[in-house]
Amino acid sequence: MRHPLAFAAALLALSAAPAAAQDEGSPFDREFAVAAYATGHTGSYHAGGIGGRLRWEPFEFLGVEAYLEATLVDWPGGGLRHDYPNGFNVYAPIRFGDFRLRPFFGFCDILSFVEPEQEGAPRADDVLFGLHGGIGAELAVHPMWSVFADAQVNAYFGHDRAAEGWTGGVDEELSFFWNAQLNLGVQLHFGGVR
């Protein structure tokens, strides 16, 4: 007899949860958020990976976020290139009910590592510095959750590198690199409702 009562209590609690969640407002009314996303890059090079970001939105019209990504790069000449883009964005959300656009710009760097195929051979690592801009689209799907897509263009300066099976090399002069990037992800919003 105790099991049917526990089951009925659980059903009542679950049915009450959506009504309580509706009273919590929109996720866009919350001050903080954390996100996870898949990312793809194309342009001077091709790459794919994952990323995460932390967001603080102190005002309805302005927010900042910091992000970190881990990508594998399609790299000619053998070897393995893995990049770790990181940086920050400043954005201005434009809200239309449960949907909003988010124009943004920011500064970034990439910790980039090129490992030749031969173990113990010289590496071709570098740090690239740049800036970026783009637009994001977000859809509220729950009082604390949203899904998003970001499209952006990145411009970097760094050293061109080469890797062969037995060695790696880094140019002495700075070169310009660019790529277009698409992020698709989910975001958890938290903190007090504004």
pLDDT digits over 62-77, tens only? 999 999 999 999 877 6
Checking phi first, is residue 72 left (phi over 0); if not, alpha (psi -120 to 50) or beta? beta
List the chain residues with pLDDT less than 70.
1-23, 77-78, 118, 120-122, 159-172
Most distant CA atoms of the chain, gap in Å? 78
pTM exceeds 0.85: no
- Where helices occur in the chain by DSSP H, the ranges are 2-22
Query: Tokens 């002495």 correspond to what residue?
Result: 172
88: which 2 tokens? 């920050």
Query: Tokens 């910091």 correspond to what residue?
Result: 66
Residues 116 and 174: their CA atoms lie apart, in Å, by 21
pLDDT digits 0-9 by tens, 5-27 = 554 444 444 444 443 344 578 99
Residues 44 and 1: their CA atoms lie apart, in Å, by 67
Residues 46 and 34: their CA atoms lie apart, in Å, by 26
177: which 2 tokens? 């690199």
Residues 91 and 96: their CA atoms lie apart, in Å, by 16
Strand-pair category, 145-163 with 168-193: antiparallel
By three-state DSSP, how is residue 29 classified?
A: helix
What pLDDT is recorded for position 45? 86
